[in-house]
Structure 1
Amino acid sequence: MTQAPRPNAAFKPRIFSGIQPSGGLTLGNYLGALKRFVEKQDEGIETIYCLVDLHAITVWQDPDKLRQQTREAAAAFLAAGIDPKRSVLFNQSQVSAHAELGWIFNCVARLGWMNRMTQFKDKVGKNSENASLGLYAYPSLMAADILLYHATMVPVGEDQKQHVELTRDIAAKFNHDFGVDFFPAPEPVIEGAATRVMSLRDGTRKMSKSDPSDASRINLTDDADTIAAKIRKAKTDPEPLPETLDGLKDRPEARNLVNIYAALSGKMPEAVLAEFAGQGFGLFKPVLADIAVATLAPISAEMGRLMADPAEIDRILGEGADRAEPIARPILNRTLDILGMVRRG
């Protein structure tokens, strides 16, 4: 691929990240994304967060469900602690510059780059001929989402790092092809003990809202009793917790629960093992359940309150789009000028 652009020193520090509103959010979304999004608000860097509904329609969506899921995802952001006055929060389709820059980047990205995107292969399996063109090309739209705001940092899970690398390649090629230093090279920000939360039923698979088993995940809409029950029933092994991380090497379910505890408590996994070494899961799970309930039950309750007033959620998203537009539109317009597109004066 193309050599990366020069460092981002000339660009204003700015964070962009997004979540697809394609179903109920889980503990994995909270620990891998929302919790860190909230923390970033306190770091003195502009934060822009987006519900990427254009990405959601790469597979067919029931319109009523898509509206519901978009509002529910917005409620999760707000309930987790995103402040719409300190962060820009909006849904992607309200800012048309995303789609416009996405098309431009379709013409910059190379087929060979797209063919190396592992998530497309994972999602379609052997059924690629029936997949939408949008599902194949969506990484270039993701690059547009990021670069439309000249974002310099992108909080992502480990599984999304490849898409940020593609974004860097697209930025580099555009800059090289037109002899400009216009787009920054955004850095993936991968932090925390549980950036990739695994299934409660299979520690080798990522926790997913699409898993047929509801017991495999903790939904952000679960109440306290449901959260505690799912933790108690989470798959484990008969061995006690070890003293070091090496002792978790071939114990994926145990490692997953330790990482979840660490992320919820703000401790390192090593500190968790130092506290619980030698104890069985009969003692560890109730403590984990308590901290999970204390963290997540208030979010669930606040989401319920917010979802009772969808007009207020729509207002917040609309105001967020009004704040995003003045950032995005000048960057798109300058891109069009660089490309040689004729525009009104």
Structure 2
Amino acid sequence: MGGKKEKIILTGLRPTGALHIGNYFGALLPFVKMQETADKFFLMVADLHALTTLEDSKNLGQNSLSLAMAFVASGIDLKKSVIFVQSQIPQHSELAIALSMITPVPMLELNPTYKEMREEHPKNNNLGLLAYPILQASDILIYKSTEVPVGKDQSPHIEIAREIARKFNNRFGNVFPEPKTILQKEAKIFSLQEPSQKMSKSHGEKTYIALFDSPDIIREKIKIAVTDSGREIKYDEKNKPAISNLLTIYSLFEEKPIKEIEKEFEGKTYAEFKKDLAEIIIKGLAPLQKKYKELEKKPAHIKSVLEDGAKKAEKIASQTMLEVR
């Protein structure tokens, strides 16, 4: 009888600057839950992936440290998780080169995410963008990950990783497990100024709540957030997208059903609702901000965490590359 198969999860974020509340509910909090269910949990600061669309890399090092601090501040347990910076593990790039030799170019060109990224970053239509899924496959396969949690937009990349793993195994022997896609339930948080667009820092500072915004900035951003015609505080994505977005944010922070919030604010004005919402966000982010500020005073500690994570990650990556070679 074989033993229970290890559950190995790899996930991460690109260190492209300020994190916002969409990242908090869509990534950071789910990461904290994932570490509890995995036998091995690898959390990657994906700095090489950031280079594909980054026009100015001078802050990349600091952004990488800040992202690692945000991981720890949000509740990542260093006894259960391995946090590391992608570029510090040379085997990621080495395996990516090897995998590129068996990856058909048309498969990359037909990747729907490539088309979207090209349109979003017209000045950065580079080879790194086209080959992004190969490096991502390398990230996943180097640790023999069995599960990869992603949003719907990234699921084509995991299918490519599965296909690359199959091709490699068929040609060279059974080295890699085919990773399973775990579709993450996305936190549907939209822009504060344009509720038809997902919340993103690329749309301007007034459009998102950053995790480390001060209370006054949060109050101001919520105060000037767009609302809909009419006065009713009611969830209706089609006819009232702006107030529906604000109700979603309220519901996520308070962990309260939207119907309950609607009843609470029946007969009240948008201004009253927004005032309460701002205070709820401030209160909800306070513990994270407090922990982050404590970590900011100890940069040597975070650097040590990343060095330790790199050692653990590289040990496994080196073993995998011995099998690949």
SS in 2 for 1:210: helix
Q: Which amino acid aligns with 1:220?
A: L
Please report how far the alpha carbon of residue 133 of structure 1 lies from its aligned counterpart in structure 2 after TM superposition: 1.1
Q: Which amino acid aligns with 2:108?
A: M
Residue 104 of structure 2 corresponds to residue 110 of structure 1: yes
Paired with 2:123 and 2:272, the residues of 1 have a C-alpha distance of 50
Q: How does 1:11-30 map to 2 (within 5 A)?
A: 11-30=5-24
Please report how far the alpha carbon of residue 65 of structure 1 lies from its aligned counterpart in structure 2 after TM superposition: 1.0
Paired with 1:273 and 1:153, the residues of 2 have a C-alpha distance of 38
Gapped regions of structure 2 (runs ≥ 5): none
Q: Who is 2:209 aligned against?
A: 218
* Stretch deviating more after TM superposition (74-83 or 111-120): 111-120
Using the size of structure 1 for normalisation, the TM-score is 0.83
Residue 84 of structure 2 corresponds to residue 90 of structure 1: yes
Work out the number of aligned pairs and report it.
322
Please list the CA deviations of residues 79-124 of structure 1 after superposition, one character each: whole Å capped at 9, or x if unmatched: 1111222211110111111111211222232222211233332333
Q: Which amino acid aligns with 2:312?
A: R
Q: Which amino acid aligns with 2:189?
A: V
Q: Who is 2:197 aligned against?
A: 205
Paired with 1:199 and 1:149, the residues of 2 have a C-alpha distance of 36
SS in 2 for 1:248: coil
Instruction: State which of 242, 251, 263 in structure 2 corresponds to 1:253.
Output: 242
**Pair 1:232–1:130, CA change in 2 (3 A):** closer
Q: How does 1:225-240 map to 2 (within 5 A)?
A: 225-239=216-230, 240=232
SS in 2 for 1:72: helix
Please report how far the alpha carbon of residue 293 of structure 1 lies from its aligned counterpart in structure 2 after TM superposition: 1.2
SS in 1 for 2:76: coil
* Stretch deviating more after TM superposition (53-62 or 273-282): 273-282
Q: Note if contact 2:199-2:207 (Cα within 8 Å) is conserved in structure 1.
A: yes
Instruction: State which of 149, 158, 174 in structure 1 corresponds to 2:152.
Output: 158
Q: Which amino acid aligns with 2:199?
A: M
Query: Percent identity over the alignment?
Result: 37
Paired with 2:12 and 2:181, the residues of 1 have a C-alpha distance of 15
Please list the CA deviations of residues 111-158 of structure 1 after superposition, one character each: whole Å capped at 9, or x if unmatched: 222112333323333986863211221121111111221222222233
Please report how far the alpha carbon of residue 197 of structure 1 lies from its aligned counterpart in structure 2 after TM superposition: 2.5
Aligned Cα root-mean-square deviation (Å) = 2.7
Instruction: State which of 63, 66, 74 in structure 1 corresponds to 2:60.
Output: 66
Greater RCO (CA < 8 Å, at least 6 residues apart): 1
Residue 315 of structure 2 corresponds to residue 335 of structure 1: no
**Pair 1:331–1:307, CA change in 2 (3 A):** same
**Pair 1:151–1:263, CA change in 2 (3 A):** farther
Paired with 2:133 and 2:181, the residues of 1 have a C-alpha distance of 16
Please report how far the alpha carbon of residue 186 of structure 1 lies from its aligned counterpart in structure 2 after TM superposition: 2.1
* Stretch deviating more after TM superposition (147-156 or 179-188): 179-188
Q: Who is 2:25 aligned against?
A: 31
Gapped regions of structure 1 (runs ≥ 5): 1-8, 337-345
Using the size of structure 2 for normalisation, the TM-score is 0.87
**Pair 1:123–1:44, CA change in 2 (3 A):** closer
Paired with 1:126 and 1:295, the residues of 2 have a C-alpha distance of 32
Q: Who is 1:343 aligned against?
A: none
**Pair 1:107–1:267, CA change in 2 (3 A):** farther
SS in 2 for 1:42: helix
